[in-house]
A and B are shown apart, each in its own frame.
Chain A
Amino acid sequence: MKKTILSGNEAIARGAFEAGVKVASAYPGTPSTEILENVANYPGIDAAWAPNEKVALEVGIGACFGGARALVTMKHVGLNVAADPLFTLSYIGVRGGLVLVVADDPEMHSSQDEQDSRNYAKFAKVPMLEPGDSEEARAFTRLAYEISEKFDTPVLVRTTTRISHGKSIVFPAEPVQGLPEPNLVRDPAKFVMLPANARRRHPLVEKRMLDLAQWSCEQPFNRIEEGKGEVGVITAGISYQYAKEILPDAHILKLGMVHPLPKDLIRSFAARCSTLYVIEELDPFLEEQIQAMGIRVIGKELFPICGELTPGRVQASLEGRETVLSQSTEASLPNRPPNMCPGCSHRGVFYELKRLGAFVTGDIGCYTLAALPPLSAMDSCVCMGAGISNATGLSKVLPPEQRQKVVGVMGDSTFLHTGINSLMDMVYAQAQATVVILDNRTTGMTGRQDNPGTGHSLTGAAAPAVDIETICRALGVRDIQVIDPYDLELTRQTLKDAMARPEPSVVIARRTCMLERRGAAERKLPLFVDADKCVSCKACLKLGCPAIEWNAEAGDKGKAVVNQLLCVGCGVCQQLCKFDALGVHNEK
């Protein structure tokens, strides 16, 4: 097939297609999201969003038990959610190959922490491949299924943001032929992990890792590139590219499999180098294991453990100097932080929560941006689902007057992800906190993916839609209000009442996301500021709407202006202006 340029995520999707994958399941999470979106375009693959990563993996496991090849994808924090089935699957092994792609985000471009998922491979005792560009992403994904079936193990493929979202040239190959048809096979000694069975499986897991380590010494994915001189580098993934860029003459041992390590290969490589660097992002994962083999390497004593590597950072580290930040030579320029869209329905809710003095235990989504000024209306954010359960914990320890201030906030997708469990517990624990579900009918943050509440599948086909009110009622919540968050008065009054009530209450703020795919979001004529009426009080600026700009030159004290290109006419700012200066634009 013709060469083409693909992102790492697109290339993984291609690799999965070539490998004959039948079922693909995932929860969206940057930078992993596009894998499933691309897989869905290939024929013969049943690709669907799962409500969370644990469910996604369990769906994949089911398919693999049936003898089909399955793909499961997630971001690094998603693997924490899916860790439970992963560890036991390591003991069970597979029937059809199972590959789990996990996308790490060094530098936290859009994540709450920068954990190194390679540790999971070691912890769960499963092999992990790490591609260094898009072509390897394709080839390694395909290869991972062969390894999975050959060694009876799930296989992890790890990417990082620069692989997932980087693009490079790919050479697609023809799909494999002749894979067995899925069927039912009973094998309780393998599939049922009762203690007695699990005890028999554990030695097999240990042996498998030893076999893999030995086997991988002769595989082309672990390769030595001869250089000149005495300097050697052991590296993998994107770090390999930086090493080649900065040390073009060094001998390189490029690891395609980062767990288990090909120890014999490493020993023979190390013997030829007088200086040996380990260049890797995040944890000293390779470094510690190689040191433990008694080989002296230079790693984190030079290279940063925090953030991602760049060619400049590698260069600076080698020279033993501070990394020159690319911005450092410029005078200070105004930052451009991300912001919720003009007309985003979350804005009004956070504005009112702030006014009511709520202590907001938040969650992961577009609405996490409400933590930034001017709204500054989020007081904690840990992980998906935590918005509600953090509120439960807080309300358990606070005195009554403070307890009433606690409000747990999350989106519809997060609610279906792990929020349901949290709300169940809040009711059961009889906590006296308020929950706000920001129901924008999509998974906004990662780019508007469908979820079980939207009534649509990954491919856009109609699907049964979960009814969030009914779920809340079934969990035992007695007080449930559904509001339009564009109506500030209603929002404030409803929140106030809910917060005053000494029982768990749920406020569902429902408005379609401005970016929703099907164009269901309401757009009206842009507003304008009547300069004669504007008294420069700046009340409207407190919303932080990107469409409202301050023109310091107008009048004596400046005036607000509405950017006509951005404004969607939601009218929330109109409700804030006491002077009626914000009017509706008349087209005629």
Chain B
Amino acid sequence: MKNKVTNILLAGVGGQGTLLASEVLSEALMLGGYDVKKSEIHGMSQRGGSVTSHVRFGSKVYSPLIPEGEADFLFGFELLETMRCLPMLRTGGTVVVNDLKIMPAPVAMGQEVYPADIPAKIASSFPDTVLVNGMDLAMQAGNVRTVNIALLGALSRRLDLAEQHWHQALTGQVPERFLAENLKAFELGRAV
């Protein structure tokens, strides 16, 4: 029998909290008893560049990189970056994406155009697309900086993992004084 590994690709822009979300995600998966591997690139990408993070879990995981075209979930923090990563998704894969545009430099300089109708384009190839208004949820939770955790909540409902592990992971990864609002954001996201 083939060892079933689930692949989650996170995509966003440097500074958006993509990395913290992937930390919580892998921690929760480990607490749930899975083997977990995660891979990402630091450095230049932190200066507003594209950021991707690969998270894989299952009974045994070898490569920390998701094989090309085999991502089960694309978890996007920004629309253009999510669009960019679509080729990594398998047919029938699920997209959970934040409804947010951040202008890359060539667009901000008026040299290139930000693609129109990204959510519709994504949904036409991947019917399992969940568009989340992360900012709305974060504001409801009382802190705009909890967007990433609200989005994680939306993803969490689609993964095979008990709620207690998510809470435990959040408690371990988020500084205590921000914990309450992050838990709130997670709950709001989970309801989406």
B41 contacts A109, CB within 8 Å? yes
A67 CB to nearest chain B CB (Å)? 36
Q: What sequence of 0s and 1s flags, for each residue 347-389 of chain A, a beta carbon within 8 Å of any chain B beta carbon?
A: 0000000000000000000100100001000000000000000
Q: Quick check: which of A56-64, A213-221, A325-333 contacts chain B, the rest being far away?
A: A325-333
A165 to B42, CA, bound (A): 8
Q: Quick check: which of B91-99, B104-112, B157-165, B182-190 contacts chain A, the rest being far away?
A: B104-112
Most buried by A among B65, B85, B104: B65
A165-B41, A169-B35 known; A335 and B88 CB under 8 Å? no
Interface: B43 (CB within 8 A)? yes
Q: Quick check: which of A117-125, A184-192, A309-317, A480-488 contacts chain B, the rest being far away?
A: A309-317
Question: Of B40, B88, B105, B113, which contacts A339 at CB under 8 A?
Answer: B105
A366 to B14, CA, bound (A): 15
A341 contacts B47, CB within 8 Å? yes
Residues of B within 8 A of A341 (CB): 47-48
A335 to B13, CA, bound (A): 12
B80 contacts A168, CB within 8 Å? no
A341 to B65, CA, bound (A): 29
Residues of B within 8 A of A366 (CB): 47
B40 CB to nearest chain A CB (Å)? 6
Interface: A230 (CB within 8 A)? no
Interface: B49 (CB within 8 A)? yes
A5-B36, A330-B86, A330-B87 known; A161 and B41 CB under 8 Å? yes
8 A-B pairs besides A337-B104, A546-B108 with CB distance below 8 A are A5-B26, A165-B39, A165-B41, A166-B39, A241-B62, A330-B84, A337-B106, A563-B103
Residues of A within 8 A of B46 (CB): 338, 447
Interface: B176 (CB within 8 A)? no
B47 contacts A369, CB within 8 Å? yes
Question: Of A246, A336, A374, A563, which contacts B104 at CB under 8 A?
Answer: A336
Residues of B within 8 A of A338 (CB): 14, 44-49
A327 contacts B84, CB within 8 Å? yes
Interface: B115 (CB within 8 A)? yes
Residues of A within 8 A of B117 (CB): none
A166-B64, A338-B14 known; A333 and B115 CB under 8 Å? yes
Q: What sequence of 0s and 1s flags, for each residue 1-24 of chain A, a beta carbon within 8 Å of any chain B beta carbon?
A: 001110000000000000000000
Q: What sequence of 0s and 1s flags, for each residue 53-85 of chain B, a beta carbon within 8 Å of any chain A beta carbon?
A: 000000001111111110000000000110111
**Pairs across A and B, CB under 8 Å, 17 listed:** A133-B37, A168-B37, A168-B64, A238-B64, A241-B64, A310-B63, A311-B66, A327-B84, A334-B112, A336-B13, A336-B48, A336-B105, A337-B49, A369-B47, A549-B103, A550-B110, A563-B103
A406 to B66, CA, bound (A): 46
Q: In the complex, which residues 520-570 of chain A have their Cβ closer than 8 Å to any Cβ of chain B? A: 538, 541, 544, 546, 548-550, 552, 558, 563
A3 to B83, CA, bound (A): 36
Residues of B within 8 A of A333 (CB): 80, 83-84, 115
Question: Of A31, A166, A538, which contacts B43 at CB under 8 A?
Answer: A31
A563 to B43, CA, bound (A): 24
A109 contacts B68, CB within 8 Å? no
B47 contacts A31, CB within 8 Å? no
Residues of B within 8 A of A544 (CB): 105, 109
A212 to B66, CA, bound (A): 36
* 9 shortest interchain CB distances as A-B pairs: A110-B43, A312-B68, A550-B110, A338-B49, A336-B104, A311-B67, A30-B43, A338-B47, A167-B38
A31-B42, A315-B67, A546-B108 known; A336 and B27 CB under 8 Å? no
A162 to B42, CA, bound (A): 11
Select from chain A the residue with minimum beta-carbon distance to B5.
A245
A169 to B64, CA, bound (A): 12
Interface: B114 (CB within 8 A)? yes
Select from chain A the residue with minimum beta-carbon distance to B61.
A168
Residues of B within 8 A of A447 (CB): 42, 46
A5 to B165, CA, bound (A): 14
A169 to B31, CA, bound (A): 11
Interface: B143 (CB within 8 A)? no
B-side interface size class: 35 or more
B56 CB to nearest chain A CB (Å)? 10
A162 to B130, CA, bound (A): 30
A-B contact count (CB 8 A): 161
Residues of B within 8 A of A315 (CB): 67
B106 contacts A334, CB within 8 Å? yes
B106 contacts A166, CB within 8 Å? no
Select from chain A the residue with minimum beta-carbon distance to B169.
A5
B65 contacts A310, CB within 8 Å? yes
Question: Of A30, A246, A538, which contacts B110 at CB under 8 A?
Answer: A538
A30 to B45, CA, bound (A): 11
A109 to B39, CA, bound (A): 13
A246 to B26, CA, bound (A): 23
A3 contacts B50, CB within 8 Å? no
A310 to B48, CA, bound (A): 25
Interface: A244 (CB within 8 A)? yes
A162 contacts B67, CB within 8 Å? no
Interface: A446 (CB within 8 A)? yes
A549 contacts B108, CB within 8 Å? yes
A269 to B14, CA, bound (A): 46
A339 to B108, CA, bound (A): 12
A334 contacts B107, CB within 8 Å? yes
B48 contacts A339, CB within 8 Å? yes
A336 contacts B49, CB within 8 Å? yes
B109 contacts A327, CB within 8 Å? no
A333-B83, A336-B13 known; A109 and B37 CB under 8 Å? no
Residues of B within 8 A of A238 (CB): 64
Interface: B30 (CB within 8 A)? yes
Residues of B within 8 A of A369 (CB): 44, 47
Q: In the complex, which residues 476-524 of chain A have their Cβ closer than 8 Å to any Cβ of chain B? A: none
B111 CB to nearest chain A CB (Å)? 8
A548 contacts B108, CB within 8 Å? yes
Residues of A within 8 A of B47 (CB): 338-341, 366, 369
Most buried by A among B30, B37, B66, B114: B37
Most buried by B among A244, A336, A341: A336
B26 contacts A245, CB within 8 Å? no
Residues of B within 8 A of A552 (CB): 110, 113
Residues of A within 8 A of B39 (CB): 162, 165-167
B26 contacts A310, CB within 8 Å? no
B43 contacts A241, CB within 8 Å? no
A109 CB to nearest chain B CB (Å)? 5
Most buried by A among B67, B69, B106, B112: B67
Question: Of B42, B43, B106, B113, which contacts A335 at CB under 8 A?
Answer: B106
Interface: A242 (CB within 8 A)? yes
